[in-house]
């Protein structure tokens, strides 16, 4: 049966308390409008470039304000609440960029640590070294909702199609892409990447985003959106500020897309003969 899902757009600042209050308000609005699954953006708890400032607000998962609020909201509203990600202190002193899914009873169903680190130098002079702060995950995750199998990705993961294909081949029908895309990269690639991942894998893509100019000085692209398995944008937000993006989805559309374009079944094993003395295995130079 069709269900309503939501992506929450935020413009998180540096104070987790204020960000949690914003999250509470927007998740409750989404639930009041019929959403049974609500996703928040990457770094819901705080966007903080300053490493000293970030570490001052870090908590381990059991003490984190966003985690506690999401669990409480899920139980209060009887829905699935998916914290797209928030910064979590690890026992070894490192930091995880962690997404967490909570069920209608408030229990944590699944957690996913972002695998691919955003280490880039942009044309406009921005330089990002996510790996200098965050410890990359090494395990892809999926979880079963009552109406669909959900796969997990976060932001920069969207540029690694093998992650999405692997999950789709394992039965994912929805794949989440919460993000804090920079304005420059978002303008160039955000929508086309989301639609491509949906089309390639015949899945719904749900992408809750940060949008606007943040307290720490960065500017994110926004345009949270929900894309269907045929690559059509069902709903989207503007580029700045808060929004609740809702769409009614029917998981039968996933099978319909796979029946029309059965590329996940039609793939064939092959070898690559590369010039020179640089053998390639699994897409990575040996």
**Model pLDDT, residue 277:** 62
Q: Where are the domains of the chain?
A: 3-265
- Residue 114 appears among annotated catalytic residues: yes
DSSP 10-50: B---S-HHHHHHHHHHHHHHHHHTT-SEEEPPTT-S-----
Active-site residue, 110 included: no
- Is 155 considered catalytic here? yes
Q: Which of 11, 21, 42, 242 is catalytic?
A: 42
d(CA 147, CA 170): 16
Of the listed ranges 86-95, 123-132, 185-194, 226-235, the least confidently predicted one is: 123-132
Contact 242, 9 (CB under 8 A): yes
126 pLDDT above the threshold of 80: no
Active-site residue, selected from the candidate residues 62, 114, 130, 187: 114
Q: What's the token pair of residue 21? A: 């209050």
Decide: pTM greater than 0.85: yes
Answer yes or no: is pLDDT of 131 > 80: no
**Region 270-281: what's the mean pLDDT?**
75
Q: Is the pLDDT of residue 286 over 50?
A: no
Q: What is 79-117 written as a DSSP string?
A: SEEEEEEEEEE-TTS-EEEEEEEE-TTS-EEEEEE--S-
Question: Of 21, 76, 130, 155, which is the active-site residue?
Answer: 155
Indicate whether 185 pLDDT > 50.
yes
Confidence (pLDDT) at 84: 98
Residue 13: CA count within 13 A, CB half-sphere: 8
- What is the pLDDT at residue 91? 87
How does pLDDT run across 55-89, given as a tens digit for each residue?
999 999 999 999 999 999 999 999 999 999 999 99
> Which CATH code of 3.60.110.10, 3.30.2010.10, 3.40.50.720, 2.70.98.40 fits the domain covering 3-265?
3.60.110.10
Closest-CA residue to 250 (of 34, 83, 14, 3): 3
Structure confidence at residue 122 (pLDDT): 67
Looking at residue 209, what DSSP letter applies? B
Which band of pLDDT confidence, cut at 50, 70 and 90, is reported for residue 273?
A: confident
């Amino acid at each position: 049966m069709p269900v309503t899902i939501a992506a929450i757009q935020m413009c998180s600042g540096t104070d987790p308390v204020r960000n949690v209050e914003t999250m509470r308000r927007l998740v409750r609005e989404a639930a009041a409008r019929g959403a049974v699954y609500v996703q928040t953006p990457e770094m819901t708890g705080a966007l903080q470039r300053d490493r000293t400032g970030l570490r001052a607000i870090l908590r381990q998962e059991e003490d984190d304000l966003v985690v506690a609020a999401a669990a409480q909201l899920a139980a209060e509203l009887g829905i699935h609440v998916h914290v797209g990600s928030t910064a979590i202190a690890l026992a070894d002193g490192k930091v995880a960029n962690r997404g967490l899914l909570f069920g209608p009873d408030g229990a944590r169903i699944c957690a996913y640590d972002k695998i691919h680190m955003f280490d880039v130098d942009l044309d406009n002079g921005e330089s990002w070294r996510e790996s200098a702060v965050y410890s990359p995950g090494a395990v892809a995750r999926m979880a079963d909702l009552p109406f669909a199998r959900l796969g997990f990705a976060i932001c920069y993961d969207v540029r690694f199609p093998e992650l999405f294909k692997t999950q789709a081949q394992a039965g994912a029908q929805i794949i989440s892409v919460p993000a804090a895309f920079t304005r420059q990269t978002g303008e160039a690639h955000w929508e086309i990447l989301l639609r491509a991942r949906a089309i390639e894998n015949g899945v719904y893509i749900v992408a809750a985003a940060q949008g606007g100019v943040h307290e720490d000085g960065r500017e994110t692209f926004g345009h949270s959106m929900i894309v269907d398995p045929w690559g059509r944008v069902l709903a989207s937000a503007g580029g700045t500020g808060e929004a609740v993006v809702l769409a009614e989805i029917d998981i039968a559309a996933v099978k319909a897309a796979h029946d029309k374009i059965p590329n996940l079944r039609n793939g064939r094993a092959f070898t690559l003969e590369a010039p020179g003395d640089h053998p390639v295995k699994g897409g990575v130079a040996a």
